[in-house]
Amino acid sequence: GQDTVLCEGQQVVFSANNLFDKYQWSTGSFEKNIIAKTAGTYMLRATDRNGCEVADTAKILNVFGRPRPVLDKTAI
């Protein structure tokens, strides 16, 4: 899968295609899709109806904090 970065408060949906009968993510999920919010490696093992298995990984490289606004006070 494609690696990505997020900003604080964002999330990404990692999705497998419909060619498989069973899905198992490194998160413990058995769903076709997962929602990820934290940095790390997400691995999927998928099995088709013939018992053939494939695996893929995607990474969230970093979750950047939100910038803090700085307001300047200017006298008029």
- pLDDT at res. 68: 83
Q: Among 49, 46, 65, which Cα is nearest to 8's?
A: 65
Question: Which amino acid is it at 40?
Answer: G
Identify whether the C-beta of residue 60 lies closer than 8 Å to the C-beta of residue 30: no
pTM: 0.81
Kindly give, in sequence order, each residue whose CB lies less than 8 Å from that of residue 57, ignoring residues fewer than 6 positions away: 1, 41, 42, 43, 44
Provide the residue-wise pLDDT of the chain in tens; the chain has 76 residues.
689 999 999 999 999 999 999 999 999 999 999 999 999 999 999 999 999 999 999 999 999 998 888 887 777 7
- pLDDT at res. 1: 66
- pLDDT at res. 73: 76
